[in-house]
């Protein structure tokens, strides 16, 4: 948000992509020309892309036919599952933006080409309600610290803390 405010005041943000636009020299009168600079304009856009990571656990077999399989990462428990980014985005849309589950499902399927399965009874049990309250409180705290909701949810699903929370925890542990 600070970067966007700076941009609006006339400063430029470091771009992800630079497109150089050359002067069509065929259109210029004959003569010698040298580049003396350029004018720049920035276009802010978003890119939603699907990233599929396939984990392949190596299988080794000894001379007796006994097989040894490399363990999958702890968080990879199914043949196909959602990653933390999709989980965070889904919760953000359904619980923070209050989109109905059907609209969230349509968005994932039609716009992102990601099959969407709603977890049944996720927020219809006592544990689901507790989880919702924890997520809502986490989002509220992060928003007060100028942390985006999507990043806050990503941290939550990755079991990490946003920077402000790590600093606060460190200062509590050091008695500051």
Query: What is the residue-wise DSSP string for 120-168?
Result: TTTTSSHHHHHHHHHHHHHHHHHHHTT--HHHHHHHHHTT---HHHHHH
Going from N- to C-terminal start, the domains of the chain cover 2-49+98-173
Return the higher-pLDDT residue of 130 and 70: 70
Q: Work out the pLDDT band at 1, boundaries 50, 70, 90.
A: very low
pTM of the model: 0.49
3-state helix, strand, coil in the chain (%, to 5): 40, 5, 55
Q: Where are the alpha helices (H) located in 9-125, listed in sequence order?
A: 84-91, 101-106
Q: Is 107 exposed, middle or buried (0-12, 13-18, 19+ CB in 10 A)?
A: middle
The residue that leads in pLDDT, 30 or 124, is 30
pLDDT greater than 60 at residue 21: yes
Mean pLDDT score across all residues of the chain: 79
Name the range with the highest mean pLDDT among 48-52, 82-86, 142-146: 142-146
pLDDT in tens, 97-144: 888 888 888 888 888 877 766 553 344 456 656 666 777 788 888 888
CA-nearest of 97, 118, 92 to 106 is 118
């Amino acid at each position: 948000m600070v970067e966007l405010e700076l941009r609006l005041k006339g400063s430029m943000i470091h771009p992800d992509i630079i497109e150089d636009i050359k002067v069509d020299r065929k259109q210029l009168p004959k003569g010698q020309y040298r580049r003396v600079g350029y004018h720049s304009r920035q276009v802010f856009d978003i890119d939603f892309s699907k990233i599929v990571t396939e984990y392949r656990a190596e299988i080794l077999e000894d001379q007796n036919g006994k097989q040894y399989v490399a363990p999958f990462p702890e968080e990879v428990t199914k043949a196909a599952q959602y990653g933390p980014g999709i989980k965070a985005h889904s919760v953000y849309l359904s619980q923070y933006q209050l989109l109905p589950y059907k609209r969230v499902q349509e968005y994932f399927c039609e716009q992102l080409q990601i099959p969407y399965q709603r977890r049944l009874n996720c927020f219809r049990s006592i544990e689901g309600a507790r989880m919702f309250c924890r997520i809502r409180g986490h989002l509220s705290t992060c928003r007060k610290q100028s942390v985006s909701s999507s990043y806050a949810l990503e941290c939550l699903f990755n079991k990490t803390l946003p920077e402000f929370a790590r600093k606060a925890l460190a200062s509590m542990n050091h008695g500051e």
